[in-house]
């Protein structure tokens, strides 16, 4: 992108996801909201409920209000991934805390195709912290209230609209004219936080090998330790945590195991 390009010549796309949890290594998307826009106004909107293929936890339903019955007849992410990509392709992504949303999008592409398009975004939290330093925090609900927006928090399209509004307010308030001025204020764009490996992992689970059955002793979230045979398929790094995506013969399903909870390998 030429840094001398005028901001009013560019197309942007704000987007937001609602999910079954906070970890893109194994949680799923349940709603997508996006707005394609320029500094002159909205070009188009995109909103879809998504069937995650798993039950939505009650504590998560309390946050966004999306229930299993609401997504029962909705498409799977694979059914709409291409049309969603076509909606935002070629636009500069604008997202509140983008590493979260980009990681879920990248994961969806990776699970389907083994690869993902290049994803990077401008972070409205970054911009808001610099433009609204006096606010008590820079959550999207706080920023939306500050701007007088009457929107439903924690629903994807409304949060995407709020994100667009925050971005355009900063652009106009700071008098930014070129893409270069925007980038100097923002800094480097944010990218997804997932990493993948097809080789053997490091300690303490270094003996795990992709494609080779292994018996492990695993501690669940309640502290119970069970022995199970798994078939590792993929190693995933998200933040400081490592995960093993594997077929679990005990549960007869694909599971994502946190590496730090593997007590021993037999």
Indicate the helix (H) or strand (E) that contains 83.
helix 77-88
- Residue 199's nearest CA partner among 185, 182, 212 is 212
Who has greater pLDDT, 206 or 203? Answer: 206
Predicted confidence (pLDDT) per residue in 164-174, tens digit: 999 999 999 99
Provide Rg for the chain, Cα atoms.
20
DSSP state of 21: S
Q: What integer is the mean pLDDT of 192-220?
A: 76
Q: pLDDT-derived band of residue 206, with 50, 70 and 90 as boundaries?
A: low
Q: Is the pLDDT of residue 202 over 60?
A: no
Tell me the C-alpha distance between 245 and 104, whole Å: 15
The pair of three-digit structure tokens given for residue 171, joined into one six-digit string: 């652009």
Determine the pLDDT at residue 151: 80
Q: What integer is the mean pLDDT of 100-121?
A: 94
Residue labelled with tokens 């893409």: 179
The answer to whether 162 and 154 have CB atoms below 8 angstroms apart is: no
Q: What are residue 255's DSSP bridge partners?
A: 246
Q: Is the pLDDT of residue 220 over 70?
A: yes
Residues tagged active-site = 154
Tell me the C-alpha distance between 116 and 102, whole Å: 11
- Residue 261's nearest CA partner among 209, 207, 220, 208 is 220
CB atoms within 10 A of CB 107: 24
The pair of three-digit structure tokens given for residue 180, joined into one six-digit string: 């270069």
The answer to whether 135 and 144 have CB atoms below 8 angstroms apart is: no
The answer to whether 265 and 208 have CB atoms below 8 angstroms apart is: yes
DSSP state of 57: P
Q: pLDDT-derived band of residue 182, with 50, 70 and 90 as boundaries?
A: very high
Tell me the C-alpha distance between 15 and 47, whole Å: 10
Q: Is the pLDDT of residue 112 over 70?
A: yes
Q: What integer is the mean pLDDT of 113-140?
A: 95
Distance set, CA 210 to CA 139, 218, 248, 253 (Å): 40, 18, 14, 17
Beta strands in the chain (DSSP E): 12-19, 29-38, 41-49, 92-95, 121-123, 194-197, 214-219, 225-238, 241-248, 253-258, 262-265
Helix (H, G, I), strand (E, B) or coil at 221: coil
- Residue 210's nearest CA partner among 199, 218, 202 is 199
The pair of three-digit structure tokens given for residue 73, joined into one six-digit string: 């007849």
């Amino acid at each position: 992108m030429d840094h001398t390009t005028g901001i009013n010549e560019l197309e942007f796309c704000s987007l937001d996801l609602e999910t079954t949890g906070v970890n893109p290594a194994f949680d799923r998307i349940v709603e997508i909201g996006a707005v394609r826009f320029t500094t002159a106004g909205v070009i188009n909107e995109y909103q879809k409920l998504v069937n995650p293929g798993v039950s939505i936890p009650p504590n998560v339903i309390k946050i966004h209000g999306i229930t299993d019955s609401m997504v029962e007849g909705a498409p799977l992410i694979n059914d709409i991934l291409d049309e969603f990509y076509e909606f935002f392709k070629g636009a500069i992504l604008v997202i509140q805390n983008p590493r979260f949303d980009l990681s879920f999008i990248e994961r969806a592409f990776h699970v389907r195709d083994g690869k993902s398009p290049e994803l990077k975004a401008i972070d409205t939290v970054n911009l808001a912290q610099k433009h609204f330093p006096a606010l008590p925090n820079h959550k999207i609900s706080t920023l939306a209230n500050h701007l007088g927006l009457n929107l439903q928090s924690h629903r994807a399209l409304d949060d995407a609209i709020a994100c667009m509004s925050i971005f355009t307010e900063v652009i106009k308030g700071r008098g930014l004219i070129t893409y270069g001025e925007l980038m100097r204020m923002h800094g480097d764009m944010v990218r997804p936080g997932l990493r993948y490996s097809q080789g053997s992992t490091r300690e303490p689970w270094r003996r795990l090998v992709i494609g080779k059955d292994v018996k492990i002793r695993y501690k669940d979230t309640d502290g119970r330790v069970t022995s199970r045979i798994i078939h590792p398929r993929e190693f995933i790094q998200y933040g400081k945590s490592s995960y093993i995506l594997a077929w679990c013969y005990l549960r007869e399903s694909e599971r994502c195991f946190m590496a730090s909870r593997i007590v021993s390998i037999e």
